[in-house]
Every structure is written in C-alpha cells, then in structure tokens.
Amino acid sequence: MKQLVLASHNLGKLAELQAMFSSLGVELISQSILGISEAPEPYHTFVENALSKARHASQHSGLPALADDAGLCVDHFGGGPGVQTAFFATLFGYPKSDDNNVRALLEQLEGQSNRRAALVSTLVALRHPDDPEPLIAVGRLGGDIAQSPRGEHGFGFDPVMVIPHLGATLAELDPAHKNALSHRGQAAQKMLSLIKDNWL
C-alpha cells in the first residue's frame, strides 16, 4: 500500500495527517485533488460519518481510504455541536468558517462558568469500499474553552481550546507538540498501529 486517499477537502487536516503518517511511507492524497466530491454525512455519530466518508472516497478513487470525522463536544451544550461542529456558526446567522465558529462559540458561552469541552477525532480506514473490517481509532482531548482566542498555530477551535495542565491553547503550542497531544494525534497514533498490525 503506497497511497491512501484522505476523505477530506480540509487542507489543515491533510497537513496534520500527512506529518503523522510519514513514518508509514504511505502518501496521503486529498480527495479534492482527485476531483471527488464530499460525501453525505447524515449520521449523529463521528464513527458513522467517518465510515460514510471513507467508503465514498474509496469507491470514487479505487484506493484504500482514510477518513476523519472530528468535532467539539461542549459540556454546556450537552455534548454539542459534535458532528455539526463545522456548521456551528451557521446556527447563529454567520457564514461557515473557522473564525465564525470560534466567534459563535464564545458568544454562546459568554457568562458561563462551565467551559469544559473535548475535541474528538474518529479515524476510519478501509482497504476498499466494501471492506467488512474497517479499522477504527478514536482520540479525545479534554480541556476548557478560553475567554478569547490565543495563539497563532493550528486551525478550527485550536485558539480557544485550553489544555489545563499546560495553561496554553492548542494554537499556542509548537505544531509538533500539538500533533503529539491532540485528539487527531491520538487517533492517528492508534491508527498507525492498526495499519501496521493488520495491513502491512
């Protein structure tokens, strides 16, 4: 296996996962480069949506596929926005973007003392679209939502996700440190082990 199609158009996600998967000697190719549209994500759990995305990418590329479904789960929202994280800002009248998601989140948490949240990443890998034995890895990083954005690195909610034992947001960390610690980093390390043990 020399190539994996990444079922995402998110360049930040591609860069992070490429760095994490470099030790496998496998090239990650974004589905956007192959002209593959985004898959429907009609489900309420990360694992179901990741599986849908991986099947779609594998079917349209003819390659093994890797998909990540990730999101922010906030205690105050009963675990939301969860799988709807990418569209969180649109619920409050803002256009879809990372900056607007952060803006909407801070507005909705204004005055709230419970700012506990977790970033969750679920990775699914398939050898082919009908693979009966998908590889599944989950990473979870708990923390607190900052009062305002801090830091210059990362993307998404990184500028407001404070890691309590570090006293810093993910965006304030060196990218290599963040990748080792993050929800996606945790899931990627588990996935690397699964691929080595089961596919290579």
Alpha-carbon separation of residue 110 from 46, 139, 142, 154 (angstroms): 27, 28, 20, 23
Q: Residue 94 — left, alpha, or beta (φ > 0 → left; ψ -120 to 50 → alpha)?
A: beta
Q: Which of 68, 69, 130, 174 is catalytic?
A: 69
Residue linked to tokens 């691929």: 195
Q: Which residues are CB-contacts of 60 (< 8 A; sequence separation ≥ 6)?
A: 31, 34, 36
Instruction: Note if 197 is an active site residue.
Output: no
Between the CA atoms of 154, 68, 176 and 73, what dihedral angle is there, to the nearest 10 degrees?
A: 60
Catalytic residue numbers, as ranges: 69
